[in-house]
Amino acid sequence: MENIDKDKYTRAKKRVEELKGFYFHLAIYVVINTFILVNIYLRTDSFWQWEHFITLVAWGIGVLFHAFKTFGFNPFLGKDWEERQIQKYMEEDKKEMNKYK
């Protein structure tokens, strides 16, 4: 029973670390990009140029993928696909083990 509690604690701690990492990444993204955009706005006459938003867009894609990983969202394969693959490989292992009995 104690081992189960330790495993739960370890998983929960890992999850909290993942969330903390994501929120830190998001906060840094917002602060840095706000600073960059405010500087561009104050120093140039033509704010709405693509070059001014490259960092925002590229880093934003990185933050988006970090969010997908952190919150378990996979738009390409989905959670059901992952569960089916796990079950498939567990069944294959079970068949393989029965072969040698």
Q: What is the pLDDT of residues 53-77, one digit of tens each?
A: 999 999 999 999 999 989 887 767 7
Q: Are 59 and 29 in contact (CB under 8 A)?
A: yes
Note the pTM of the prediction, 2 decimals.
0.69
- Angle of helix 54-71 relative to helix 2-43, nearest 10 degrees, comes to 170
Confidence at 99, pLDDT banded by 50, 70, 90? confident
